[in-house]
Amino acid sequence: MVWATSNYMEEMVDTLPENMQKEFKRFKRVYEVLAKEPEPKVGQTPKEVIWTKNKAKLYRYQPAKVKTNKVPILMIYALINKPYILDLAPGSSLIEYLTNKGHDVYLLDWGTPGHEDRHMKLDDYVLDYIPRAVKKVLRTSNANEITLLGYCIGGTLTSMFTALHPHLPIRNLIFLTSPFDFSDAGLFTNWVDERYFNLDQMVDTLGNIPPETIDFGNKLLKPLANYFGPYITLADRADNEQFVHNWNLMQKWVGDGVPFPGEAYRQWIGEFYQKNKLIKDELYVRGQQVKLSNIHANVLNIAADRDHIAIPKQTERLMDKISSKDKTFKLIPAGHVSVTVGKGAVKHTYPLIDQWVTEHSN
């Protein structure tokens, strides 16, 4: 009966004017994408797990491929969403691009925190997880120095780690849309103002902060564009299969959030957004002062001109604080996410990172 109805509908559509036939087929394709198609495959670059701690895993990519660049790259992602945005799909993967260029690439995946992880602090990530991952990378690659690449909050954590470990052989630092100065973080500054936002009550009530809460806040920065824009664009371009494929990939990642450990969130909002301690040299991690001036490594600091999550001026301020002699700030035409995926990233971000790392590793 369903088959007969479907055939009847197809016959009816064939009697419509050509422009209406196109509209119907486009509408049908949107329905198929939203209701029928399976989730796309992500994170397809070959990898192996070389170290674990609690929920975290350390991956080495394309381990069998010959490495022509002697300084390995360890990527450190944020505490929200899944890190496969750095390896979204073949042809749209920073990790795939760099490994194909002969770089020895590693990724620290924080995993998905459970209720038992609600007491984890930024201190734990900076002083327990990252140092051990760095040592494991150096041993595995048989290297004397390392390049660290931090994306979003991962870059902020990387800066803290580097400032607290000036003795480690960190040759290069790459920061990708990472906030350092929170004196003016756009709407976020107003929303989390301690006069109105009861941070302690939120953390004490929820424990871990649900990914839906974080996603809601990010989307509210541009509500019409973020809530309706993707579907309007899909309806408009549903006859473009390459676009539909990329759309599916992004929607999967956007909806694939992870909880923010409660105590780490309390620190992130309270000490960074509300008190701006990092840039003021007022941040302490387990009694140790975090001074960005302790950073001496070569630095490539990348911001995106359309980024409304880590505004470029939040990112650029780092350049005034570090002691690095070789430091470069680049503003790329992109958004917070499109800086790492899509045609623009392949054209601008990937070659920039590859060339810079190569020049600063030999």
Residues recognised as catalytic:
152, 307, 336
Q: Kind of pairing, strands 298-304 and 73-76? A: unpaired
Q: What is the distance between the alpha carbons of residues 11 and 13, in angstroms, rounded to a whole number? A: 5
Q: State the residue for tokens 């992602």.
A: 77
Q: What is the distance between the alpha carbons of residues 304 and 345, in angstroms, rounded to a whole number? A: 11
Which residues have a Cβ under 8 Å from the Cβ of 93 and sit 6 or more positions away?
44, 45, 86, 87, 341
Residue 296 has φ and ψ, to the nearest 5°, of -120, -5
Residue 167 has φ and ψ, to the nearest 5°, of -85, -15
Q: Kind of pairing, strands 56-61 and 73-76? A: unpaired
Amino acid at 63: P
Q: How far is CA 120 from CA 24, 275, 340, in A?
A: 52, 20, 28
Handedness of CA 212, 29, 43, 70 (dihedral sign): negative
Write out the two tokens for 316: 């650029």
- Is the separation of the CB atoms in 108 and 118 below 8 Å? no
Q: What is the distance between the alpha carbons of residues 226 and 342, in angstroms, rounded to a whole number? A: 18
- Is the separation of the CB atoms in 3 and 214 below 8 Å? no
Provide the 8-state DSSP code for 117: G
- Which of 188, 158, 215, 177 is CA-nearest to residue 274? 188
